[in-house]
């Protein structure tokens, strides 16, 4: 009996990909961690669910979309390495991402600083620009589909696959896309295009900057209607620290009018880059400015007419002016040469005639993040960038790792030595969601959204539907550290009991039927045939006696009608009497 997608665990696909464990599940496919035996590396394998793999039309679309996505090659897109299909399995092999989703990161950190949000938005825009140039629309940009690596790199996942999920949703008359990030044209049931992805990115930017969704409601229909009408609260009202230009870019990206928003990811990226350069130049100007000039020119008395100048006076003034001009010119040349020397010394000569000042990078690992960044001895010496990692074994705020590593000899630079610190979010507890009697895919999603890992196992049940959750460990409602594993037990359906097939031969038909019923077997049908056996007795059964068979098996019997009757010899007529003449 097929107990679900766990049948692939421990198997090797195409003699190459050894399936190790389930790491995610959705309505369309299950994602496994696997080992690429040929290249000796870990990969992610997404296998199409069996019921969809049996659909020829859906399989064809799966192959087409997956092969198209495999052509994408960009540092901000999860790479697709391989696409394969056979008679009974469809799968794609992808880059295995060791990180968290942007949604998980935002849940832990809350409102992101505008610089961090800008950093993420630029990377997502670059991913969209590349995919759109290849003719691929994502259709479901949301924080759950965006992966964040420890070094701050963004990876957009499921390009093209969302198109398949859309097709599946359309079959069940559902609205395509996640309703909180859905573009108005998608909410109306219209065909999405590249500008729909830009709208969804705008919503993600709004959420990063404010910590809130631009539109919310009690039902999906209410939220979709708000997207269509398009009247979001300006983000500065929720977070006054957002620069006006970045707020303008965000609202333009998520403009309800498809022709009023950015028409391409390249156009959006151009505005984001221009804003970033503007902010960088402003910071540089404010750092270099040492004096404030008020621009006030002192009052000067106007010169009146003093009469004609004599020749002698004119000659004296001309001589004096010539001397002043020569001296002023010499002074100007000297000042210019000094300025040139200072410039060359600062940018070239100093490096030649003096050894560059260097410092050995200290070990920040194990220290508290706040104490490090607020240490006055580090001010101006280091430029810290912080990323966060969920690690229940390390206290909140403690630095887990650093890049570059401690002990490296680094040159001191005016802008500060760049050091990336990875900080633990610590042990954060959450209640285990109640997923009992929910489907495996739905339960997995709920648990992952709550911050837990999932470890599935199967058990038979006479009361819980196959593929639905029987129990969890810990139980629903119990507190558990985020990042911990919740063990779920999935129903494999009722237990199959077997019985020993009784002997029916020699019994009458009614007796045989009664014996079947008493052994929890099902009488199927009787065939009557001629036989040397006694008429009305069973002479044959569809399953031999004493074999083990599952309960409720249908059994056929054959009953004798007796031997064939021997035909009587034909009657002979007596000879007729002949009269003599």
Query: Parallel, antiparallel, or unpaired: how do β-strands 538-541 and 554-560 relate?
Result: antiparallel
d(CA 175, CA 221): 9
Neighbours of 162 (CB within 10 A): 25
DSSP 324-387: HHHHHHHHHHHHHHHHHHHHHIIIIIHHHHSPPPEEEPP--TTSBHHHHHT-GGGTTTEEEEEE
Structure tokens of 292? 């404030």
Helices (H), 83-158: 102-109, 114-133
Beta strands in 510-574, from DSSP E residues, in sequence order = 522-529, 538-541, 548-550, 554-560
Burial class (CB in 10 A: 0-12, 13-18, 19+), 215: buried
DSSP 191-223: PP-HHHHHHHHHHHHHHHHHSS-S---SSHHHH
d(CA 294, CA 296): 6
DSSP 250-292: HHHHT-SSTTTS-SSHHHHHHHHHHHHHHHHHHHHHHHH----
Neighbours of 386 (CB within 10 A): 16
Residue with structure tokens 């739905």?
A: 442
Residue with structure tokens 């809130």?
A: 212
Strand partners, 92: 46, 83
Strand partners, 389: 424
2 carries an active-site annotation: no
Name the phi and psi angles at 73, rounded to 5: -145, 100
- Exactly one of 15, 50, 55, 140 is catalytic; name it: 140
d(CA 534, CA 505): 11
d(CA 239, CA 29): 39
DSSP 176: S
Catalytic site residues?
140
């Amino acid at each position: 009996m097929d107990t679900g997608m766990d049948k692939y665990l421990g198997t090797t696909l195409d003699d190459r990909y050894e399936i190790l464990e389930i790491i995610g599940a959705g309505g369309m496919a299950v994602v496994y961690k696997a080992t690429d035996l040929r290249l000796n590396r870990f990969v992610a394998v997404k296998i199409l669910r069996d019921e969809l793999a049996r659909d020829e039309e859906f399989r064809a679309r799966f192959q087409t979309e997956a092969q198209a996505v495999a052509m994408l090659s960009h540092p901000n897109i999860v790479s697709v390495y391989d696409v394969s299909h056979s008679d009974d399995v469809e799968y794609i092999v992808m880059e295995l991402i060791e990180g968290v989703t942007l949604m998980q990161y935002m849940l832990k950190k809350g409102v992101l600083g505008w610089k961090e949000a800008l950093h993420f938005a630029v990377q997502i825009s670059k991913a969209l620009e590349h995919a759109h140039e290849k003719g691929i629309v994502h259709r479901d940009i949301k924080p759950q589909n965006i992966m964040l690596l420890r070094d701050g790199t963004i990876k957009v996942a499921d390009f093209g696959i969302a198109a398949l999920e859309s097709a599946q949703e359309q079959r069940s008359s559902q609205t395509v896309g996640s309703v909180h990030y859905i573009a108005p044209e998608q909410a109306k049931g219209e065909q999405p295009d590249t500008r729909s992805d830009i709208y969804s990115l705008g919503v993600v930017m709004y959420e990063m900057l404010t910590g809130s969704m631009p539109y919310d409601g009690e039902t999906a229909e209410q939220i979709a209607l708000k997207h269509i009408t398009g009247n979001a609260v300006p983000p500065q009202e929720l977070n006054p620290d957002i620069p006006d230009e970045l707020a303008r870019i965000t609202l333009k990206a998520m403009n309800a009018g498809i022709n009023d928003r950015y028409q391409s990811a390249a156009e959006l990226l151009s505005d984001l880059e221009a804003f970033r350069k503007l902010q960088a130049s402003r910071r540089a100007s404010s750092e270099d400015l040492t004096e404030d000039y008020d621009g006030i020119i002192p009052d000067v008395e106007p010169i009146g007419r003093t009469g004609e100048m004599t020749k002698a006076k004119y000659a004296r003034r001309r001589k004096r002016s010539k001397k002043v001009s020569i001296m002023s010119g010499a002074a100007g040349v000297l000042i210019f040469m000094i300025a040139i020397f200072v410039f060359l010394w600062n940018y070239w000569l100093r490096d030649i005639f003096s050894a560059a000042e260097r410092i050995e990078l200290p070990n920040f690992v194990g220290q508290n993040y706040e104490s490090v960044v607020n240490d006055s001895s580090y001010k101006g010496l280091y430029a810290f960038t912080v990323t966060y990692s969920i690690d229940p074994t390390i206290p909140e705020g403690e630095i887990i790792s650093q890049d570059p590593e401690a002990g490296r000899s680094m040159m001191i630079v005016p802008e500060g030595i760049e050091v990336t610190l990875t900080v633990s979010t610590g042990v954060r507890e959450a209640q285990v969601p109640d997923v009992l009697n929910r489907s495996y895919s739905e339960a997995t999603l709920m648990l992952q959204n709550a911050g837990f890992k999932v470890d599935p196992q199967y058990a038979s049940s006479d009361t819980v539907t196959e593929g639905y959750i029987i129990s969890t460990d810990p139980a629903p409602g119990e507190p558990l550290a985020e990042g911990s594993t919740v063990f779920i037990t999935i129903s494999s359906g009722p237990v199959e009991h077997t019985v020993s097939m009784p002997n029916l031969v020699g019994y009458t038909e009614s007796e045989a039927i009664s014996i079947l019923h008493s052994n929890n077997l099902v009488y199927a049908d009787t065939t009557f045939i001629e036989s040397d056996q006694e008429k009305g007795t069973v002479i044959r059964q569809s399953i031999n006696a004493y074999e083990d068979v599952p309960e409720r098996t249908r059994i056929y019997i054959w009953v004798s009608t007796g031997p064939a009757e021997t035909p009587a010899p034909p009657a002979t007529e007596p000879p007729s009497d002949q009269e003599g003449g």
